[in-house]
Amino acid sequence: MKNALVIGGCGFIGSNIVRKLNEKGYKVKVFDNLSTGRLDNIKAYNIEFIEGDIIKKDEIIQAAKDVDFIFHLAANIGNIKSLNDPFFDSTVNILGTLNVLEASRINGARKIVYSSSAAIYGELQYQPINEMHPIEPESPYGVSKLAAEKHCLWFGRHYNIETVCLRYFNVYGIKQLTDEYGNVIPKWVDLILRHKPIKIYGDGMQTRDFVNVSDVADANILAAEKKGLVGVFNISSGESITINELAKKIQQHFDYKIEILYENFRSGEVKHCKANIAKASKAFDFHPMIKIEDGLKEYIESLNSSK
């Protein structure tokens, strides 16, 4: 039986990885401080839960005993959030990651799969964005995720540990909650369910590359199981749609008309975004399966059923 530790496993993406590992027969440990994750997200699965924090080295070293694979998703997430407290952002995302890496070295883990972010690219210079795109992060969050990537790759080379960094784009799907820093999809759906208007900044012709969390979970497991795999990889759908198109697709799942308010385009916001995922497809056979129409349907139905 393969053993896995999912750090941040009570969160949105982490709990979906836990679900898939459970289905594949892994013995799973979940390590989470429950600052944003919820125990309800993993209560249906056969796992060992450990409450702890990655900034406490002794706790993560203890949790990482006797595991083959470590999925590291714990992070202080969000560009705006990091601007408000860059010191805390770096403490969690850089120091916390170093603690995870040290725990893997001490305990002899075979593979670490680190959840990174497209925020490391900064202002986009061309599309679709491949892994060779210039890296100029424009927030403390982007800087800390990039620094953590570099530490992962250095640790991998120096201590002969397979380390993989997955750069996520716009992830959405079941178990995703809305907050002030969240993705546009849960924000909008939350407002619509409360019969409130949604906002589109600019003319709505800006584009985004959305990827379903089920595909992201698959990418993590494929990367972990691919022997000898190391490096950085974009993870997204490889397709983009306009924000106006997104609103239309969401409208199809409601029997009342969504009110849309158009406001001025926000300065500093990227107008277009599309990922090149050829490297991941070739390296570990990553092929996104969930079309956005199906993913939106599943997500909205999951919220309705939880009422």
Would you name the residues annotated as active-site residues? 141
Q: How far apart are CA 199 and CA 259, in angstroms?
A: 9
Length of the chain: 307
**Residue 24 in tokens:** 């594949």
Tokens of 267: 């300065």
Number of Cβ within 10 Å of residue 88's Cβ equals: 14
Whether the link from the prior residue into 128 is cis, omega within 30° of 0, is: yes
Centroid of chain to Cα 223: 14
Identity at 63, one-letter amino acid code: A
Q: Are 61 and 37 in contact, with CB atoms under 8 Å apart?
A: no
Asked if 242 and 292 touch (Cβ cutoff 8 Å), the reply is no
Let me know if 71 is exposed, middle or buried by CB neighbors in 10 A (0-12, 13-18, 19+). Answer: buried
